[in-house]
Amino acid sequence: MSVPVSSLNDPTMESSSSAVSWGPIIAGALVAAVISLLLMLVGSGIGLTMISPFAHESSSAITVTASAAAWLIVVQWFSAGVGGYLTGRLRTKWTSVHTYEVFFRDTAHGFLSWALATLLVVGFLGSAISSLIGAGTQATASAIGAAGSAGTIAASAAASNNSGSGSSNFSTAYFTDALLRPANAKAAAPANESNEAVSAEVTRILVNGAAQGEISADDRTYLQQVVASRAGLSDADAKARVDAVLKRVDDAKAAAQKAADTARKAAAATALVGALALFVGAFIASVAAALGGRQRDEDEERYRLKR
């Protein structure tokens, strides 16, 4: 049964074929994902050359983070451009479709190809991307841990050795020491008191001071008496040693805070740059697909006219 010509020109009739060509979209997305994998491997190799176990031969954390962010932009834009262009070139030519509609469909196909490639990369390369974006966060944790790990380990060891009942007893150990503290540690220190017990008590004083933000005058005086008794120093020399050590602790704390703040800013910048790279990558993929589709139609039209 033949269909009337008038019905073919009826604008109310819908086409039986979908406007989405999934074949080119999947092909472009796979190519973009593979290119992303290759470029990320290359970037990992370059990044490893910037890191060295020797302190003076390794690049700074800011340099490494900035380089990683720049390489992420290169990976995203190049892979999105190639994948979008292939999506536009591989799709089947649409007939009886207005030029503006063809442009919109090509652009939409490029965007879909970019979206699918992004999902593939997140699914298969999620750990690598998480490591890249989380580099600043890890650096922040390392900087904070470097400042407090020594005191925490020592305090935990002292708590487990002396109380044997975990961190809950350690939380009150400092106050127990304060209650039982002799009026003059230099005169009252027993000769048979172990260095481990004294070191544990001093550690608890330092940890409590770090938690409170400062060491109280009573604690500072007690530390001076303990140092004078154990180190055989005069009161003036003991006071100078305690002041010098506490200043080093404050300097280390300030350096850790500065490193943590720098790492936080680097992590935030990396996340923002990554988001911007994704947005621009979506635009590049859409434009590349439109260019590829237009070039395909022009080449086919030129070939048809030559025949």
Query: Using one digit for the tens of pLDDT, what is the confidence trace for 150-180?
Result: 444 444 444 444 444 444 444 456 655 655 4
| 21 dihedral zone (left: phi>0; alpha: psi -120 to 50; beta) | beta
- Give mean pLDDT, residues 206-227: 82
280 has a pLDDT exceeding 80: yes
Long-range contacts, 242-246 (Cβ 8 Å, 24+): 246/215, 246/220
Q: CA separation (Å) from 263 to 130, 191, 267, 277? A: 16, 48, 6, 21
- Give mean pLDDT, residues 42-58: 70
Tell me the per-residue pLDDT of 124-156, one tens digit each, with 9 for 90 and over. 766 555 555 555 445 444 544 444 444 444 444
Domain assignment present for residue 108? The answer is yes
pLDDT value of residue 181? 58
- Residues 277 and 138 placed together within one structural domain of the fold: yes
pTM over 0.85: no
- Residues 78 and 132 placed together within one structural domain of the fold: yes
- Residues 216 and 173 placed together within one structural domain of the fold: yes
Domain assignment present for residue 168? The answer is yes
Range of the domain at 65: 23-142+266-296
> Of 82-91, 191-200, 249-258, which range is least confident?
191-200
Element (H, E) at 70: helix 61-90
The Cα–Cα gap between 27 and 32 comes to 9
User: Dihedrals φ, ψ of 274, to 5°?
Assistant: -60, -40
